Structure 1
Amino acid sequence: MLAIIGGTGIYNIEGLITIEKHDISTPFGKPSAEIIRGVYHGKEILFLPRHGSNHQLLPSEVNYKANIWALKSLGVKQIIGLSAVGSLQQEIEPGDLAIADQYFDFVKGHREKTFFGNGLVAHVSTAEPTCSALAQKISEAAIKSEVRLHTNKTYACVDGPRLGTKAESLFLKNAVNADLVGMTNVPEVFLACEAQICYCTIGIATDYDCWQDDPAHHVTVEQVISRYGASLEKAKLVLATYIQGTSAVCQSRCNHSLESAVLTPAECLSEENKQLFEVLSA
């Protein structure tokens, strides 16, 4: 089962025929919104708006654990996220699409970043946090759709909600060598790893953040919204082409990430942790 997590401006998917809506409670609270199960271009998928149905949630207010848990409990094996991002590299122009395969966690505030703890200890490898097979199939869909898509990029995640300073933008560009900056993919990508779900985000570049000298290129909310619509249509085209094609078959260890990761003996787990692990490892 494939799930789409919609970012800024994506609170529904045009053409998605709704079958049912899931109002789910999880051990970690409520997800961002009801999860829609529907048919899109002939395939059954799930859809969840990351920021809520009316964009009422800041990046730091999104209940990422509840979102991933709810999707996992509904049988999701793949997640494609859609996210607005800033470009930290000249060649990724506003309006371009990009897929990150690496992440730099620059989140300094408190976000729940793991399902583990409280008697259940596990350490999941995130050396390769995204699914290479899924990324390849999305790339092929972009080529077929004649849409420019950059791949193998590094996404730096910041707290928000404020837009970054020029010093921060230059640090992420030069010291970190990041290509994209956004506010939401951490901890989403890492929780998907812990839940053994293949994960990729299609980043929609809306601006050059604020690393360039010309203030006219510095990001504003007005720029983000005005440039987002046309680019979003390109992302939807790539997504539709991917869905209509052959689904990716995971060649990495996305769906087996918990093997050898858990250190706490099974006989020492509480009933609550046994149930938690049962869902994550399904």
Structure 2
Amino acid sequence: MAQAVLGVIGGSGLYQMPDLESPEEITLETPFGPPSDAITIGTLSGIRVAFVPRHGRFHQHAPSAVPARANFWALKSLGVRFVLSVSAVGSMREEITPLDLVVPDQVFDRTVRRPRSFFEETGPVVHVALDEPFCPHLRHAVIEAASTTGARVHPQGTYLCIEGPQFSTKAESRIYRSWGVDVIGMTAMPEVRLAREAELCFAILALVTDYDVWHEEEEPVSVTTVIERLHQNVTTAQAIIRDLATRVASLPDDCPCGHALEHAIVTAPQAITPAVRQRYALLLHRYFPVDAEG
């Protein structure tokens, strides 16, 4: 099976990567069903890249219906170590204007309907650390890549993830602003959690399309506004991904993201059955080999 180093999850408006050389589409099955769409693997700036459109190439998956576990499992199975998630967001700050870019360093989860872990149904019990939810090395590389485009880049911020698919009410938007968040979107979670459980270096490139509904002098967010500004932002995102591909080879091999499960599994080894070891071998093989028990 074709392998890749960098995974890209395309958000609204980013449904394909035309710059990929010698692209190959791969259809995968995972323990959590199929990914959002076929995964395209190709070469970009000399690096093998795997691309999956989060909502499907025809935008057929609503935010709460995105098969996030299947997406991350598939990327992990292809050898991906670094994942960039591209996401459309609304600004909750006057100084963060539409068409700006934000590389968040924190996230606040307000979703309620989505699976939060690979291990929910069958165990083992896993408590990964999320105090710093994004990979600092990959974030720095994304910030540097974004800075080469001439766009205005905010190198940190808190991403508030809501359930959707509806946009906020004005009351909600005002309260969210009072919490000190910077951008609002519908897709950061459970991606952040799953990336850490999969021991992947993960970062978000947030493309600002609107001011949500709080701004008194701007029209409230609408699909029309989002799509119009996304077309402009997506061109910038493609350029950032091209540049980022040149940087990932120099990122450190010993990033803590790569062994996030090492001290996170609290279930006793003898309680992890052969069936569970087999099911989660992609994630647990270093800690609980399939052919070992207890």
TM range (shorter): over 0.9
Tell me what 1:225 maps to: 227
Output aligned runs, 1:142-181, within 5 Å.
Answer: 142-174=146-178, 176-181=179-184
Write the deviation string for residues 166-190 of structure 1: whole angstroms up to 9, x where unpaired: 111111111x211010001100111
Q: Structure 2 residue aligned with 1:134, among 138, 145, 150?
A: 138
What CA distance in whole angstroms lies between the structure 2 residues aligned with 1:85 and 1:251? 32
Tell me what 1:48 maps to: 52
Tell me what 2:192 maps to: 189
What CA distance in whole angstroms lies between the structure 2 residues aligned with 1:177 and 1:205? 17
Tell me what 1:29 maps to: 33
Output aligned runs, 1:1-282, within 5 Å.
Answer: 1-108=5-112, 110-117=113-120, 118-174=122-178, 176-214=179-217, 216-247=218-249, 248-249=251-252, 252-281=255-284
The worse-fitting range, judged by mean Cα deviation, of 37-46 and 98-107 is 37-46
Write the deviation string for residues 60-114 of structure 1: whole angstroms up to 9, x where unpaired: 1111111111111111111001111000011111001111111100113x11110
Partner secondary structure for residue 41 of structure 2 = strand
Hey, which bits of structure 1, 4+ residues long, moved more than 3 A?
none
Give, as a single letter, the amino acid of the residue that structure 1 aligns with 2:159: Y
What CA distance in whole angstroms lies between the structure 2 residues aligned with 1:191 and 1:183? 15
Give, as a single letter, the amino acid of the residue that structure 2 aligns with 1:172: Y
* Contact 2:126-2:266 within 8 A present in 1 as well: yes
CA apart distance, 1:149: 1.1
Give ranges in structure 2 of 5+ residues lacking alignment: 287-294
* Contact 2:6-2:47 within 8 A present in 1 as well: no
Give, as a single letter, the amino acid of the residue that structure 1 aligns with 2:70: A
* Contact 1:86-1:209 within 8 A present in 2 as well: yes
Write the deviation string for residues 30-72 of structure 1: whole angstroms up to 9, x where unpaired: 1100111111222211000000111001001111111111111
Partner secondary structure for residue 43 of structure 2 = strand
Give ranges in structure 1 of 5+ residues lacking alignment: none
What CA distance in whole angstroms lies between the structure 2 residues aligned with 1:181 and 1:46? 26
Write the deviation string for residues 127-175 of structure 1: whole angstroms up to 9, x where unpaired: 111011111111112223333211221000011111111111111111x
What CA distance in whole angstroms lies between the structure 2 residues aligned with 1:34 and 1:243? 21
Partner secondary structure for residue 186 of structure 1 = coil
RMSD: 1.5
CA apart distance, 1:259: 1.1
* Contact 1:198-1:250 within 8 A present in 2 as well: no
